[in-house]
Structures are given as structure tokens and as C-alpha cells.
Chains A and B, each alone.
Chain A
Amino acid sequence: AQSVTQLGSHVSVSEGALVLLRCNYSSSVPPYLFWYVQYPNQGLQLLLKYTSAATLVKGINGFEAEFKKSETSFHLTKPSAHMSDAAEYFCAVSDPGLGAAGNKLTFGGGTRVLVKP
């Protein structure tokens, strides 16, 4: 069974500082990996995904993530935090067997990001 662990349920950063959100996964096969963002009272929006191409993935809003197979990690970073980055972030994993569109996602517990002015 697949699982996802996000270290830190809450992260506080100053505006302009580095944002680093940690995600480790467990999977019996090379997985697809995703980061989603959820703003209050909204659904999930895809930030980026890893689907066995380049290990460094660039997403929207200046975020990027690096897939490290040896560490089973897929940490999310942004060099400079903006106030609009305050939200909850979820890491997710799926089995690539049915493609990125057809598979169920297993989510981590989420990390809430607070950005201080």
C-alpha cells in the first residue's frame, strides 16, 4: 500500500524567505507524485507533478520540487514566500499503472503555511 508523510502540520515563514515543505512517500513501484494547494473554502489546485521524467519539477506560482528516489522524498520549495502563498499544501502519490488521470491519489495529512509580513 502506498502512503505519504508530510513532516510538520504547520510551517511559519517570513515574507521573502524560503518555503520548504517536506514529503516522504512509501510505494512498491515507482510512483507518480503530486503537490496540491488548498486555499480556505476551496478545492485543490495542482501545483506540480512528477511522472518519471525530469527529477526537478517546476510548477505554478514559483514552486518546484525534486524527486529523490534514494530518499523516497519529494520536497516542495519556493525561494521567496509571498503573502498569497498562505494556504494548505498536500503531497500525494499514485500508482502510474492507470496513468495520471485514472488513478486514485493517496494524500498526506497536509501542511498549513503561514506567511508573516
Chain B
Amino acid sequence: DAGVTQSPTHLIKTRGQQVTLRCSPKSGHDTVSWYQQALGQGPQFIFQYYEEEERQRGNFPDRFSGHQFPNYSSELNVNALLLGDSALYLCASSLLGSGGASGELFFGEGSRLTVL
């Protein structure tokens, strides 16, 4: 059973460019969340997608956008990259319908973005 897979694992961009990161959720999961983890810090919630719609959003500018596809996979797009966008971007999947206390987030290994 494949877990959460993310691509690419590493990438380098320059300021002002745009980037797209991809995530395939764990088999059977229907919800995808994205987190940004700057070096030496804890992850910060960007947004969450369910049924191809953004359900929740953290305190990130509109330069950060996303999409969820019918097969539950997801993309994170960042426009007009800034040096401060350099971070590890983590995708987490879950089964929203599991509800209550039994649910759990499963994290991928992340995409490390470096902005020069």
C-alpha cells in the first residue's frame, strides 16, 4: 500500500518564478492538506482540499494556490516566488469521512524548494 507520494523531491527556482508541487494521497484517502516547513521551524498549515474544493486556509497570501483532482491528488502552486518561500513543503492526506478521534494525517516526505 503506497503512502503519500510527493514530487519533485528537490527543486531550485529563482525569485519571481512560479512552481508547482504535486501530491498523491495514501490509497483510500480523500483529503489533502499542505504545510510549509521553513528550516528549523515547525510546519505551518497552508490549506486543505476535499471534494476538489479548498475547505480551510492558513495565513498565506494569494500567491499560494492549490487544486485537487477527481482522483484526490493535489497540486500546490506558488507564484512570484520570494526568497522566503524556500522551505520543505509537506503534503498530508486523511480520510475525512473517518471522522471523530479515529482519523489520522499521513505525511509525505516533502518537496524541498530553494529560491535563489
Task: Answer whether A105 and B108 are a contact pair too, CB < 8 Å, given A43-B90, A44-B90, A99-B99.
Answer: no
A107: B residues at CB distance < 8 A: 42-44
A77: B residues at CB distance < 8 A: none
Task: Answer whether A100 and B101 are a contact pair too, CB < 8 Å, given A42-B109, A44-B43, A106-B45.
Answer: yes
Interface contacts (Cβ under 8 Å), in number, total: 82
A106: B residues at CB distance < 8 A: 45
Of the candidates B4, B45, B55, B109, which one forms a contact with A105 in the assembled complex, judged by CB atoms under 8 Å apart? B45
Interface residue B56 (Cβ < 8 Å from any Cβ of A) = yes
Q: Considering the chains assembled together, what is the distance between the CA atoms of A104 and B107 in angstroms?
A: 13
Interface of A is mostly: mixed
B4, closest chain A residue (CB): A43
Q: Which residues of B, 61-116, contact A by the 8 Å Cβ criterion?
A: 90, 92, 94-96, 98-105, 107-110
Q: Which residues of A, 82-108, contact B by the 8 Å Cβ criterion?
A: 90, 92, 96, 98-102, 104-108
Most B CB atoms within 10 A — which of A43, A53, A90, A101? A101
A4, closest chain B residue (CB): B42
B24: A residues at CB distance < 8 A: none
A50, closest chain B residue (CB): B101
B45: A residues at CB distance < 8 A: 104-106
A102 close to B107 (CB less than 8 A): no
Q: Considering the chains assembled together, what is the distance between the CA atoms of A115 and B44 in angstroms?
A: 27
Interface residue A59 (Cβ < 8 Å from any Cβ of B) = no
Q: Considering the chains assembled together, what is the distance between the CA atoms of A90 and B103 in angstroms?
A: 18
Of the candidates B40, B42, B95, B110, which one forms a contact with A101 in the assembled complex, judged by CB atoms under 8 Å apart? B95
A112, closest chain B residue (CB): B40
**Further 9 A-B residue pairs, CB within 8 A, beyond A107-B43, A109-B40:** A41-B109, A42-B110, A43-B108, A45-B107, A52-B101, A90-B42, A100-B103, A101-B95, A101-B99
Q: Which residues of A contact B (CB under 8 A)?
A: 4, 9, 32, 36, 41-46, 49, 51-53, 90, 92, 96, 98-102, 104-110
Q: Which residues of B contact A (CB under 8 A)?
A: 4, 31, 33, 35, 40-45, 48, 50, 55-56, 58, 90, 92, 94-96, 98-105, 107-110
